[in-house]
Amino acid sequence: MTKFGFIRHGSTAWNKERRAQGSSDIPLDQDGINEARMLADRLSGEEWDAIYASPLLRARQTAEIIVGSLGIEEIHFDPRLREIGGGQIEGTIEEERIAKWGSGWRELDLGVEKHEEVLERGLPAIKDITEAHPGKNILIVSHGAFIRKIVSELVPAMKNEPPLNNTSVTLVGHTGEVWECGLYNCTKHLG
């Protein structure tokens, strides 16, 4: 069985401000660095064969903290694992979006990457990673909205799950064509 451990990056200042990050290259804040260190301690007791990550700074930093505890020599950065592009809403909070575009802003075309576009890049990335590491345990350090879209596509029963917490672990595995989610949004390492 091939097993994926999907990891959402550690926290950022924009997470705390509830700003849409999208493809903006935001670094971890000190809490995010500490969360990633706690996650690294948790993962060090598990067996992981490879680590892939979004190249966006917050995911890159999280992966770099984790990899040191795993004995894995290389992080594979794949731009297909980046967060959903936020278009014009990047850098804004809900109140600013309402003030600028009204309460129906979600129905407007503000350049947010469409669901189908995310799947068109994300699912081939998962397929390529699976083919490169058959039967292995692979960590993917990415972003909350991206992970939720991919997991809910692989395991349709997961479509209505809540948003992911920073440094959460979601385990998805497959044998043949059947994908199963064995753990969702777990942050037990944060105490």
The tokens of 181 are what?
A: 């989610």
Establish whether 189 is an annotated binding residue.
Answer: no
Establish whether 9 is an annotated binding residue.
Answer: yes
Establish whether 102 is an annotated binding residue.
Answer: no
d(CA 53, CA 57): 10
Establish whether 8 is an annotated binding residue.
Answer: yes
Establish whether 117 is a catalytic residue. Answer: no
Establish whether 83 is a catalytic residue. Answer: yes
Establish whether 143 is an annotated binding residue.
Answer: no
Establish whether 179 is an annotated binding residue.
Answer: no
Residue 160 vs residues 1, 20, 77, 84, 113: alpha-carbon distances, Å: 25, 21, 29, 18, 20
d(CA 63, CA 32): 12
Establish whether 87 is an annotated binding residue.
Answer: no
* Under 8 Å between Cβ of 54 and 8: no
Helix (H) or strand (E) holding 58: helix 57-67
Establish whether 44 is an annotated binding residue.
Answer: no
Establish whether 82 is an annotated binding residue.
Answer: no
Pairing of strands 169-175, 2-8: antiparallel
The tokens of 167 are what?
A: 């440094």
Q: How far is CA 140 from the centre of its chain?
A: 7
Choosing from 9, 35, 90, 143, which is the catalytic residue?
Answer: 9
Helix (H) or strand (E) holding 85: none
Choosing from 35, 46, 83, 174, which is the catalytic residue?
Answer: 83
Active centre residues (catalytic):
9, 83
Residues of the binding site for substrate: 8-15, 58
Residues of the binding site: 8-15, 58
